Structure 1
Amino acid sequence: MDPAFLIGIVLAFGSLYAMITLEHASLGALFLPAPMILVFGGTIAVGIASATMRDALSAVKALPRALRGDRRTASAVIEQIVGYAEKARAEGLLSLEQLAPDADDPFVRQALQSIADGTDAEELRMVLEDEISSAAARNRTASKFFATLGGYAPTVGIIGTVVSLTHVLEQLDTPDTLGPMIASAFVATLWGLLSANFMWLPIGNRLQRLAELELERMTLVMEGMLAVQAGSPPHHVGERLQALVSDRSAGKGAAKRESAPAPETVDA
């Protein structure tokens, strides 16, 4: 389990609690039912209205993944595929069918079964690429849904504040209560900004990052299984997959260097 999300959220709300304590503010004044119901309920409602029920359900199903993270590393994937290459080289491709039920990754299981069934390399690549595209679409839908909630939440909070201020203006004949009422009116805006930046946007961005890692892993599996099907020696399979991981990391570094501005030269 990757604890980054839980650590970040706990630190974020801990910082908020520290500020409230240092300012000697009332914590109970922030937990008002009416603005919280409007902000959370309204945000989720307009998020569903802007998508489909299938998108909303897909996003809810992705929540545990955002909390759990991705436990499969590139090194573990490479080690697993090299093991398949060793078995295929020693006992033949048909022996991989025995390993398919034990594979915990459905994508790996599908690749093993296809190889054992005698699928040719071109067709196998097409099948695996289609599965990668489908996974990318599912992940994109979930991350986009939470990013959409992060965009709606501040506006819904402002709506709640406007409604509360309208009620405040109706009570101008009781000036003693105006201060607490105005303070309560801005709680909706606070929860709109808080939920967007402390919850919805972090969840959406984390799901997007996990989707990128999953696509990289699936691409690694595809290339490795194609190499196994082609009968490549196990050490060649491992070296190729290691090179793919290294090239991907180097490519990101090179892209960052190219996007960086060139240093200014000073004429003597």
Structure 2
Amino acid sequence: MDRLSLIGLFLALASLVGGSILKGAGLSSLWSPAAFVIVIIGTLAAILVHTSPAIFRHAFRIVPWVIRPPASNRRRLIEQIVEWSTIARRQGLLGLEAHVEAQDDPFVRKGLQLLVDGVEPEAIRRMMEIELGSEEQRNLAATKVFEGMGIYAPTLGIIGAVLGLIAVMKNLADPSKLGHGIAAAFTATIYGIASANLLFLPIAAKLKGVIAGTTREREMFIEGLISIAHGENPRNIENNLSGFLD
């Protein structure tokens, strides 16, 4: 679990609530059904037009990675690759067949199966790099969903503020409604700017970091597979792959 992300989300909420209280506006000033509809529902509507259904679904499938990123232990993976290399040198590549189905990660399972099947090293590299490229492209496209929401939300916040001010202008004859009306109008701006800079854009940036780390680990795995296919010494494989450790 990524505790920094949890702390960040908590502090983001605390900064809004605490700031509103310290400024004397109170909690009630942060709630406006009209602003919610214009900014949040409007942002959702814009992003639905912006992206394809498959990418939209995938974006919300990977958003939990912000709090709980995919398990990653490069050192353990290197140890696993060295173990496979030792087995392959002693028993041949077919000795790894029993290890294929034990892999939970489809990417690792596919690569190991190609190795067991005796596919040429360069063919393994080509197929696995295509697989990795497709996976990375799909994941990065999903992060653009949140980047897009971070772009649309502030603009819709301004639209909400303008609509609120229009409503205020219609009630100029009643001064008692002006203060409340103007405050409500600017609530939409808060929704737009705060959601973009405290939620949507940070989520996109965090997901990009997680994806970059996963891609780096996949690249290390591919190099390990190719080394096993070439029959390299397990100790040399371990030394070469150690360069992938942070």
TM-score range, shorter-chain basis?
over 0.9
* 1:4 corresponds to: 4
Determine whether 1:184 maps to 2:184.
Answer: yes
Instruction: Name the counterpart of 1:21.
Output: 21
**What's the % identity of the aligned pairs?**
36
Which 5+ residue runs of structure 1 have no aligned equivalent?
Answer: 250-268
1:138-157 map, 5 Å: 138-157=138-157
- Note the C-alpha offset of 1:28: 1.7
Amino acid aligned to 1:79: E
* Structure 2 unmatched runs, 5+: none
Q: More deviation in 231-240 or 168-177?
A: 231-240
Question: Cα RMSD (Å) of the superposition?
Answer: 1.4
Q: 1:193 Cα deviation (Å)?
A: 0.4
Check the 8 A contact 1:87/1:95 in 2, yes or no.
yes
TM-fit CA distance, 1:139: 1.2
For the 8 Å contact 1:2–1:70, the answer to whether it is kept is: no
2:109 is matched with: 109
**Mean Cα deviation higher: 218-227 or 88-97:** 88-97
Q: Residue 186 of structure 1 aligns to a residue in which SS?
A: helix
Amino acid in the other structure paired with 1:214: T
Shift of 1:96: 1.2
Q: Secondary structure at the match of 1:68?
A: coil
Measured after TM superposition, the shift of residue 15 of structure 1 is: 2.3
Structure 2 Cα separation of the partners of residues 244 and 202 of structure 1 = 26
Cα offset for 1:37?
1.9
- Structure 2 contact 2–66 (Cα < 8 Å) conserved: no
2:56 corresponds to: 56
Mapped partners of 1:201, 1:80: distance in 2: 36
8 Å Cα contact 1:146-1:204 kept in structure 2? yes
Shift of 1:88: 1.7
Q: Give runs of aligned pairs for residues 16-165 of structure 1, distance below 5 A.
A: 16-165=16-165
CA contact (8 A) 1:43 1:149 kept: yes
Task: Output the CA distance in 2 between the equivalents of 1:48 and 1:124.
Answer: 38
Cα distance in 2 for residues equivalent to 1:74 and 1:12: 32
Q: Deviations over 1:19-69 (max 9, x none)?
A: 223223211221112211221110011111122222211212121223311
Look up the match of 1:243.
Answer: 243
Amino acid at match of 2:143: S
Residue-by-residue CA offset, 1:76-130 (whole Å, 9 max, x unaligned): 2212212211222232211211111111221111111011111111110111110
What's the TM-score, normalizing by structure 1?
0.88
Aligned length: 246
Q: Distance in 2 between matches of 1:159 and 1:186?
A: 10
Whichever residue aligns with residue 194 of structure 1, its letter is A
- State the alpha-carbon separation in 2 of the partners of residues 218 and 198 from structure 1: 31
Contact 1:58-1:141 at 8 Å conserved across structures? no
Q: Is structure 2 residue 210 aligned with structure 1 residue 210? A: yes
